[in-house]
Structure 1
Amino acid sequence: MTLPIESVLPELAKAFPAARVVIEAPPGAGKSTQLPLFLLQQGVADDGLIVMLQPRRVAALNIAHYLAKQLGESVGEQVGYTVRGDSKRSKATQLLIITEGVLVRWLQDDPELSGIGTLIFDEFHERNLHSDLSLALVIDALPLRPDLNLLIMSATLPAESLKVWLENYCDKVQVLRSEGRSYPVEYHYRPPSHVTQWLTELPKVVVEAFAVAEKGVLVFLPGVYEIQKVAGELSQRLRPATLILPLHGRIPLQQQRQVLKATDEKRIILATNIAETSLTLDGIDVVVDSGRERRAQYLPQYGLSQLVTQRIAKASATQRAGRAGRQQAGQCFRLWSRSDEHGFAEYAPPDVATQDLSALMLDVLRWGSQVKQLAWFSQPEPGHCAAAIDFLTSTGLLEHGQLTSKARQLELGGSDPRVLLVASAAKQLSEKQQATMACILATIEEPQSSIKSVDLAERTRGHFQQRNQFALWQQRWRYWLNYFG
């Protein structure tokens, strides 16, 4: 099957070596799958490892398995992956799918990125902290690697804006645009009777959507609480055997990958915005969009982050609706009125404008630079930078703008400095206390939604007792045990 991205691949090949290319391609174009395979199979990027960055772990694993399958191989041969705590690669690996935090650690250890010939920033429009930071560090290191091929791919951000920005730091920047591959999507607007009633009235819309779906329904919800509430309501409204599946970042990666596969049975997937991009969900022809998402909003005056449920941006609404038309004509039910869209922002703000920047600041300082000296597509929020400096100074990690010996003893690379400070202090505890602290730290990092107690000690006991069911929790628990050991 021919994919739209194939029309730009010959032109892309001409940009190598030392390619500086911005690729604008909507969902369904094949940029995450066909493009890296083209580079691999055609020998376009034979000057080193091809590394493609993904913003989410489940996307990295899913794409790696898909690409390996296209080659008739197992993951870890020509195509591998590396995410936090897990890696499958070998001497034969030529294409590696990684998460952006991994690249930050690699850059800190080896700014020249020895052995890597091509970097592909996929789904750059998601704009998480690691994507902006890793790209800023890569651009800063380009004088050391003028031969490095740099590709930035986005489904929604205008390519021209990225090109103009990148030309401040690179020569011969090119833009390539591809059409998407999608079928017509019919829109239905179902605004709630009152803005506060959207969650109460959403199950009724899902039942309506399920009745018209031929294959499956994908429902976008802000978070785990809403997923569980809607799942409970649907189980009462639909026949008992109806397949209702959750999809969010807290369920094990293997379970997430199983949800992505089509079944012969018509199903309902209740998902957070993890399903907006990168992932291909087979067997979906109807989308129900709550129009809401949950984001962390840092409050510098309190030194705390608050989870806020808010309206999505127009770009996200477009991405979500497109899921209904990836494989056939589809339908999208929206829990808002058409007139409400006038108040939607064009794009969601990047994480550097809304989140705690303490970990980012540590990485920048470890890099030997200052925030204002690096190349940012969006400048980090100055107030949040100031708050990060205050926090790092008050905890003894920063003195006169320089990292202290205490900071250099911490394992950095994107981890929350608060967690690292607790772990460092726990090294003075007894072996038994350290074992308990390993459980607590894993619970803080990978909380499981099925354990609802607000008491940390009780939650930690629950996680430990059910550890065989929680792969990510167990992974972090073993990491901290080794850290103390």
Structure 2
Amino acid sequence: MMQLPIDDILPQLLDTLSAHCNAVLVASPGAGKTTRVPLALLGSGWLKNQRIIMLEPRRLAARSAARFMAASLGEQVGETVGYRVRMDTRVGPGTVIEVVTEGVLTRMLQSDPALEGVGIVIFDEFHERHLHSDLGLALCLQTQAVLREDLRLLVMSATLAAEPVAALLGDAPVIVSEGRAFPVETIYAEGRAAGRLEDAAARTVMEAISRDEGDVLVFLPGAGEIRRLEGVLKGALSSQGEGVRVVPLYGSLSAEAQDSAVAASPQGERKIVLATSIAESSITVRGVRIVVDCGLSRVPRFSPRTGMTRLETVPVSVASADQRRGRAGREAPGICYRLWTEADHRQLQPESDPELLGSDLAPLALELAIWGIADPAELAWLTAPPAGAFAQACQLLRSLDALAADGKPTPHGAAMAALGMHPRLAHMVLAGDGLGFGAASCHLAALLSDRDPLRSSRSIDMRLRLEALHGGAPGAGLDEATGRRIAAEAREWMRAAGIRPHAGAERDAECCGILLAQAYPDRIAQRRGDGRFLLRSGRGAIVPELQPLSSAPYLVVADIEDAGADSRIMLAAPITLAEIERYCAGQLEWESHISWDRSALSVRARRKLLLGSLVLKEGPLSDADPERIMEALMGGIAEQGLDILPWTRQSRQLLERIRLMHVHNPDNWPDLTEATLLATMKDWLAPYIGGMRNASDLGRLNMTDIIASGLTWQSRQQLDEEVPTHLTVPSGSRIAIDYSDPTAPVLAVRLQELFGWQQTPHIAGGKLPITIHLLSPAHRPVQVTKDLASFWQQAYFEVKKDLKGRYPKHYWPDNPLEAMPTNRAKPRG
């Protein structure tokens, strides 16, 4: 067997694990840790015929590692060495080393928290910080602390800062293997590339294959860029004849396609592998001497604010860039072309963010609930789950009936967790089975778990995907391999859920909207015109192009890009109002809306059928609560002001007279200012407005009687005596007093009617002088006074000169105190 750098430290590692239960191994890329460490542990005395579980972040890496180790032993996979990945298990009764992917480890822990029969759990490539790696380590640490102090844990990484992990593992020993990588020359771009990413990559690849030897590994952010670059390269290579093959490598490819991409090229042939970050670590792509790195990675970003996840393209970290470069030096000296400048490289963050910080935490929250943990703080984490995202996840799980109000899992939640799929899809499968759509729900779950098989289609209609899966959409573009893989996954979930296949699968599309409403109840959307929709959460969404679903009254959105003012709907299915009422009945709420309509000056009583922010139905509320009607009416009066009430001169004067008495005697007279009246309407107005709804009804009120009803008989007598409504002046006229200013009541009277009135009259028990507005014969003010005697003695004669000239036919005596008052031009004579 070929000597590898990791072999030098294996004795130290074995001694450490004999003396300690936990350890951290840091080994450079290419050191051989993934395939040599598990085999080296087979003979350890502490293992005692127990199994070794090694966690690999990706299925491709898990299968490759198991096959390599089995071949090293001269065996087939499934004998001493086996693997368990989703939908593919190769283990036998004699299997000691099991290479598993992240979800599988979680299921093993949930079914057997003590991990009986397991001697050690190895976390490989821990630096990638996948959510399930962090979760698995946290659960294993609790298992070790509570149930299995003999259980050993080994964390292995190529680029991880070892100290925090060692501290988390109880100050575990750290072992370092320097590794042995062949030298790799690094070439940076001279400037930032203009135009499309794949065009810049294509130019670099074509230059590299003409100048350098070996196969090429190109790192791209996603499958879309891989497909576009594949087309560009095949066109560029077509003129060069045979000898160079372009192959994609990403997670949703079949196992056969992935294995083919990493296998060594036949003699005389070169290959260009277009890969996502799946090829960054754990696996060796045979024959690679050249790496072309675009420097970007696509990661999910979950928003607790919207409850949605969007894929975000971000620059790689320095650690990831170094991992990618190292792929060129696994088997011989190599070269790495970086499509960014050296200055840009200095701006990269040292390490990638843990997946746990930007992910939808619903799967983690459900796993913790099944484990018996309501608060993540009860476990030891390298990075704690964000509180906002975790609360959002628990809220979603409650809406899916997975968690009870106390945070404990329901029986339905336990059944969801057992399926090993996202809680949304698990709920859809179980609920769909109960509705008689079990097989359809599994087909739909398999489609939603994979990349969109019709991603080249402009249609967002999820029903087309189901029809294509069943061969009912000719020309839809679903390739045979993809269809087989998705169908196999659907069958696996049917088996896991105990659902039997059914005839007539081509009718699955008819229930697509109903099923999506089970998985995405928060994404039911209502059309608001022109391809624009309102989600149940209150957020806007838009169908990107005009198509049949643009005019659907209701949609259920399965995939959405949360960006901009309105999110972009990527996948959806229609649902009818009748289906919402039937299949989402427990989420609907009738709400009575009784409110004041300012434009109509009336109380409106309506009932609305609501689904979150969506108003599904609306109509008059015939049996509205009279108390609520009255409250709304008083609210309208408060909004409009007291002027909406039918005040007469008499009622307003009564109000003002009482206000005057309050100003001068606040202890014995009520406060009837507008602010107080508005605040106390329930006391003084409510008894009179029963059955009323609008301003027209209010017009029937007698405000004089209403205001007076608040006074005792004695108070009314005192009011009439001390604050009269009118005063009789010397001419005999009975003139109303204006009490609008409670500190200065006004008597407006023609000057000639006051001849002979020597003193200013007083009210309020003689305490308050009347302010007299003396008017001309044309009823225009000529003088204002509170001292009538002084007016007669000093100002009258000047006023007389002016008025006599303007009104010569009227009576202007020289001695007003002895003259006869008159309400005519001249006194009767």
When normalised by structure 2's length, the TM-score is: 0.56
Give a deviation string over 1:68-122, Cα, whole Å, max 9, x none: 1111111011111111222111121111111121111111111110111111111
Highest relative contact order (Cα 8 Å, sep 6+), 1 or 2?
1
Q: CA deviation at 1:440?
A: 1.4
CA distance in 1, matches of 2:12, 2:274: 40
Mean alpha-carbon deviation: is it higher for 101-110 or for 83-92? 83-92
| Correspondence for 1:53 | 55
| Correspondence for 1:7 | 8
Q: Does 1:415 align with 2:421?
A: yes
SS of the residue aligned with 1:32? helix
| Correspondence for 2:303 | 299
CA distance in 1, matches of 2:309, 2:376: 21
Q: CA deviation at 1:213?
A: 2.9
Q: Select 2:287's aligned residue among 283, 288, 293.
A: 283
CA distance in 1, matches of 2:380, 2:313: 30
Q: CA deviation at 1:413?
A: 6.6
Give a deviation string over 1:29-48, Cα, whole Å, max 9, x none: 11001111111256673441
Mean alpha-carbon deviation: is it higher for 47-56 or for 442-451? 442-451
| Correspondence for 1:481 | 494
**In structure 2, do the counterparts of structure 1 residues 192 and 232 end up closer, same or farther at CA, with 3 Å as the change threshold?**
farther
1:368-387 correspondence to structure 2 within 5 Å: 368-369=372-373, 370-387=375-392
Q: Give the conservation status (yes or no) of the 8 Å contact 2:419–2:493.
A: no
**In structure 2, do the counterparts of structure 1 residues 137 and 86 end up closer, same or farther at CA, with 3 Å as the change threshold?**
same
Q: Give the conservation status (yes or no) of the 8 Å contact 1:451–1:459.
A: no
Query: In the alignment, residue 307 of structure 2 is paired with which amino acid?
Result: G
Q: CA deviation at 1:412?
A: 3.9
Q: CA deviation at 1:450?
A: 6.3
CA distance in 1, matches of 2:324, 2:362: 32
Q: CA deviation at 1:11?
A: 1.3
Q: Does 1:146 align with 2:124?
A: no
SS of the residue aligned with 1:103? helix
| Correspondence for 2:345 | 341
CA distance in 1, matches of 2:456, 2:112: 42
Q: Give the conservation status (yes or no) of the 8 Å contact 1:305–1:355.
A: yes
| Correspondence for 2:315 | 311
Q: CA deviation at 1:396?
A: 3.0
SS of the residue aligned with 1:287? strand
Q: CA deviation at 1:442?
A: 1.0
Give a deviation string over 1:223-277, Cα, whole Å, max 9, x none: 1100000010111112353300000011101210111111121110000000000
Q: Give the conservation status (yes or no) of the 8 Å contact 1:360–1:414.
A: no
Q: Give the conservation status (yes or no) of the 8 Å contact 1:28–1:182.
A: yes
| Correspondence for 1:202 | 201
Q: Does 1:427 align with 2:433?
A: yes
**In structure 2, do the counterparts of structure 1 residues 44 and 333 end up closer, same or farther at CA, with 3 Å as the change threshold?**
farther
SS of the residue aligned with 1:181? coil
Give a deviation string over 1:285-341, Cα, whole Å, max 9, x none: 000000001111001111110011110000000000000111111000000000001
Q: CA deviation at 1:467?
A: 8.0
Q: Give the conservation status (yes or no) of the 8 Å contact 2:361–2:390.
A: yes
CA distance in 2, matches of 1:406, 1:195: 53
Mean alpha-carbon deviation: is it higher for 59-68 or for 79-88? 79-88
Query: In the alignment, residue 12 of structure 1 is paired with which amino acid?
Result: L
SS of the residue aligned with 2:33? coil
CA distance in 2, matches of 1:86, 1:322: 30
Q: Does 1:463 align with 2:464?
A: no
Q: Select 1:472's aligned residue among 468, 485, 489.
A: 485
Q: Does 1:186 align with 2:198?
A: no
| Correspondence for 1:354 | 358
CA distance in 1, matches of 2:203, 2:416: 51
CA distance in 1, matches of 2:235, 2:415: 54
Query: In the alignment, residue 7 of structure 2 is paired with which amino acid?
Result: E
CA distance in 1, matches of 2:412, 2:316: 41
Q: Give the conservation status (yes or no) of the 8 Å contact 1:187–1:334.
A: yes
SS of the residue aligned with 1:343? coil
| Correspondence for 1:250 | 252
CA distance in 1, matches of 2:26, 2:118: 24
SS of the residue aligned with 2:216? strand
CA distance in 1, matches of 2:431, 2:330: 50
Between Structure 1 and Structure 2, how many residues are aligned?
Answer: 479
CA distance in 2, matches of 1:420, 1:387: 18
CA distance in 1, matches of 2:341, 2:259: 34
CA distance in 1, matches of 2:115, 2:494: 30
CA distance in 1, matches of 2:306, 2:195: 28
SS of the residue aligned with 2:17? coil
Q: CA deviation at 1:7?
A: 1.5
**In structure 2, do the counterparts of structure 1 residues 448 and 463 end up closer, same or farther at CA, with 3 Å as the change threshold?**
farther
| Correspondence for 2:554 | none
CA distance in 2, matches of 1:43, 1:281: 35
Give a deviation string over 1:347-372, Cα, whole Å, max 9, x none: 11111100010110010011001211
Q: Select 2:397's aligned residue among 392, 417, 424.
A: 392
Query: In the alignment, residue 311 of structure 2 is paired with which amino acid?
Result: L
Larger radius of gyration: 2
Q: Give the conservation status (yes or no) of the 8 Å contact 2:192–2:339.
A: no
| Correspondence for 1:16 | 17
CA distance in 2, matches of 1:99, 1:338: 36
Query: In the alignment, residue 295 of structure 2 is paired with which amino acid?
Result: G
| Correspondence for 1:452 | 456
> Percentage identity across aligned positions?
38
CA distance in 2, matches of 1:450, 1:458: 8
1:100-119 correspondence to structure 2 within 5 Å: 100-119=102-121
Q: Select 1:155's aligned residue among 158, 161, 167.
A: 158
Q: Give the conservation status (yes or no) of the 8 Å contact 1:22–1:173.
A: yes
Structure 2 residue runs of 5 or longer lacking an equivalent are 472-477, 501-829
Mean alpha-carbon deviation: is it higher for 386-395 or for 4-13? 386-395
Q: Give the conservation status (yes or no) of the 8 Å contact 1:250–1:448.
A: no
Q: CA deviation at 1:403?
A: 2.3
1:10-49 correspondence to structure 2 within 5 Å: 10-17=11-18, 19-40=21-42, 45-49=47-51
